[in-house]
Amino acid sequence: MEQKVPIFWVRGLPVILDLHLASLYGVRTKRLNEQVRRNAARFPGDFLFRLSESEWGELVANCDQFSNMLHSSILPMAFTEQGALMASTVLRSAQAIQMSIYIVRAFVRMREAMSANEVILRRLAEIDKTLLVHDEGLRDLYQKLMPLLEPGPEVERRKIGFGSGDED
């Protein structure tokens, strides 16, 4: 049975928090962070960063699962896809290896979904442009037809038929 991996967007990057990554790897969060500190050279800034207080506050506000951790004294670490994979190499457990494969698949699925959305958005933009062109054409046609639909001035016509002769 596959476990759901909560992936959040922080600083414009998809990340997984240390508490979720530790759970996936079957270790305590403290143990994961300890190994990361011991192998700091393997985790540059684009692999791992600590959330700021405002970022953490925003996640807590948007996700009910964090409400009990709001006043935690330690801000969580955020692992990018590369950082999550690197963590599996410093933990070296069988579960870490299995979970690293799982995490790669989760990030790939997320990337595929985002790519599908981009294709749809691009197509909608094309349709919108086409509709704008047609809209302008219809507006021009309407403006040209309106004068033809308005009644023209009354033209005085010569009366025909029999009359009493009193009319001039």
Q: Would you state the pLDDT for residue 114?
A: 79
Tens-binned pLDDT, residue by residue, of the chain (168 aa): 456 768 888 888 889 888 888 888 888 888 899 999 999 999 998 999 998 888 888 877 777 666 556 556 788 899 998 898 888 888 877 777 787 777 778 778 888 887 887 888 888 888 888 888 888 888 888 888 888 777 777 777 777 777 676 665
Q: Would you state the pLDDT for residue 41?
A: 92
46 three-class SS: coil
* Positive or negative torsion for Cα 72, 56, 107, 85: negative
Q: Contact, 53 vs 89, CB < 8 A?
A: no
Q: Would you state the pLDDT for residue 66?
A: 64
- C-alpha to C-alpha distances, 146 to 129, 135, 143, 152, 155, nearest whole angstrom: 26, 16, 5, 12, 20
